[in-house]
Amino acid sequence: MLDCIFCKIIKNQIPSSKIYEDEELLAFHDIHPIARVHFMIIPKVHLDSLDRCTVVHQSLLGKMLLLASKLAKEQGLENGFRTMINTGHGGGQEVFHLHVHVFGGDALIPRT
């Protein structure tokens, strides 16, 4: 999609603080963190949201969740972490490109 901010990040048209990249996935720190550690994992293929995924995406979704655990530990979250996938307007999704939030560490940082 031409106007998708995450697609632009994937294409290096918008800078990001990358922590992981391979042929299918990209992970980077959230620009509005809600915890000491807060990053997102996105697929390089554009998928609007989780409810657009099918059985074809099963392997990709599994890879995203396994990567979440690996990166959380690498980012210092040995004691645990949270994952969140906002889906659709009613689910709080703001960027319509599938993404998994991974966060933890200190108490959640209140947004102002």
Angle at 3 between CA 2 and CA 9, to 5 degrees: 90
Measured CA to CA in angstroms, residue 27 lies from 30, 75, 104, 107, 111 at distances of 9, 12, 16, 22, 22
- Tell me, yes or no, if 99 is annotated catalytic: yes
| Candidate list 38, 97, 99, 101, residue with the active-site label | 99
Q: Which residues are known to be catalytic?
A: 99
